[in-house]
Structure 1
Amino acid sequence: MAQLLLVEDDATIGNVLQASLASSGHDVTWHAEGRAAIDFATTAPVDLVLLDLGLPDIDGIDVCRRVRAVQPGCVIVMLTARHEEMDVVVGLEAGADDYLVKPIRLGELLARIRAHLRRVATAGSDESQVIGDLVVDAGRRRVTVGGEEITLRTKEFDLLARLAAEPGVALSRAQLMADVWDTNWFGSTKTLDVHVAALRRKLESVAVPDSVRIPRIATLRGFGYRLEED
């Protein structure tokens, strides 16, 4: 039974989502305000958070940052009525792993949650990938470059591990979205671009000697990405 935290101020939507998620076998805690949700996340383990960005007491982006700080391993899915691309990018950079734009189709939401929880449950492979001086330790979910550890969020790690599993191979956007997020994904893949940008910043910012070989994520315009040894 997965522990889910629902943060939604609309009573009608909250009741529907809580009932649907509970009927799917999840343990759901529902809070209508951001501060109460943060307090709960600070004291109880959470597997996945459904977070409405339009909250009455505190901006959902701030809630996302603070929940991510206390629950680094959980999945955060934003529920947003904001259609502007920049709003979505800000939310993803604040720590969210995924997003859905309201009005939300219940079937799509439940499928997305199942996909995220399935990936979390099966993430314990013992295999490690070594590319140059980059080591992706899947068993311990740790990444080091030249012996220096890099802290990655859940989906950042999953994406890097997928790229590292086939170094030098061109992987399409659709394939990466299916393997890291959801096999039934459709619509915008902006979340992929944001996570790639975050990975690049973290790989490039690690303090190591110039002799350390740091792989780079190459953009294949109109197709996808490839991890290649620098």
Structure 2
Amino acid sequence: MATTTVLLIDDDANLCETVQLYVEREGWRCLVSANGTDGTAQVQRFHPDLVVLDIMLPDLNGFQVCRALRTAGCFVPILMLTARADETDRIDGLTSGADDYLAKPFSVKELVARLKSLLRRSYSIGYRDVRRARGVAIDRDQRQAFLDGKLLDLRGKEFDLVAQLVSSPGRAYSREQLLEQVWGYDFEGDVRVVDVYIRKLREKIERDPARPLYLQTVWGIGYRFVVGEL
């Protein structure tokens, strides 16, 4: 299983150092950003599993960052921090797309406990079923797919096929397995329909469909979604 990555966006260097220490004790990776612009860029570059986002930042505020990420189709779980505990900030944070909220000063142990809870809720089956791999986000509830935050125009079985591949990144699926999982046991067509849809997906996802980086052929078997770095 890949290491959980937490991105902390806060301009308080002392707080960041302490939080990073506790997060890394959990065996997680902790990235740090001191402003909203850089934090947004780090989300797009590293695709963290969780974001801890301070409201008061030197450029964009936390509400703006949160709304920008959600508008771009980024569904990473976000816990917002604020120095104020009033109801208005809490409501604004949640309505802008945050998943949880914590007022300063806080116990770092409580923060880590909340992150663990948020991680369980956000990535468990049946709760906001969003799958992520290598810049691709698949929102099964909304039947939408995003590549680096940009909505992909996937229709019908195109969406179902890429969702199946992304659900187990790196796994090699045979054409027969994909046919059963995506089209169903009672489908009477030829297994070559899988090849047709893979070609369609490559045209929409890959920079160069002739040299695919995401949807790769496993010779003699079928296809897989590759999770390595670009």
Question: TM class by shorter-chain length?
Answer: 0.5 to 0.7
Bigger drift between 35-44 and 65-74 goes to: 65-74
CA distance in 2, matches of 1:68, 1:25: 28
Instruction: Give the TM-score of the pair, scaled to structure 2.
Output: 0.53
- What is aligned with 2:107? 105
Q: Which amino acid aligns with 1:82?
A: R
How big is the shift at 1:143? 5.6
- What is aligned with 2:74? 72
- Kept in 1, the 8 Å contact 2:52–2:79? The answer is yes
Q: Which amino acid aligns with 1:96?
A: A
Could you tell me the percent identity over the aligned residues?
A: 37
Q: Secondary structure at the match of 2:98?
A: coil
Paired positions, count: 132
- What is aligned with 2:89? 87
CA distance in 2, matches of 1:106, 1:120: 21
Which among 34, 37, 55 is matched to residue 35 of structure 1?
37
Q: What are the Cα deviations for residues 79-109 of structure 1, in whole angstroms up to 9, with x where unaligned?
A: 1112221121111111101100000111211
- Kept in 1, the 8 Å contact 2:69–2:75? The answer is no
CA distance in 1, matches of 2:52, 2:101: 9
- What is aligned with 1:10? 12
Structure 2 CA distance for partners of 1:70 and 1:5, relative to 1, 3 Å: farther
CA distance in 1, matches of 2:118, 2:73: 16
Alignment of 1:118-197 (within 5 A): 118-123=120-125, 141-142=140-141
Rg comparison, structure with higher value: 2
Can you give the 5+ residue segments of structure 2 that lack an aligned partner in the other structure?
128-138, 145-230
How big is the shift at 1:42? 2.0
Structure 2 CA distance for partners of 1:78 and 1:141, relative to 1, 3 Å: same
Higher relative contact order (CA 8 A, sep 6+): 1
Q: Secondary structure at the match of 2:111?
A: helix
CA distance in 2, matches of 1:94, 1:9: 21
How big is the shift at 1:54? 0.8
- 1:53 equivalenced with 2:52 (yes/no): no
Q: Which amino acid aligns with 2:141?
A: R
Kindly report the root-mean-square deviation, in angstroms, between the aligned alpha carbons of the 2 structures.
Answer: 2.3
Q: Which amino acid aligns with 1:14?
A: C
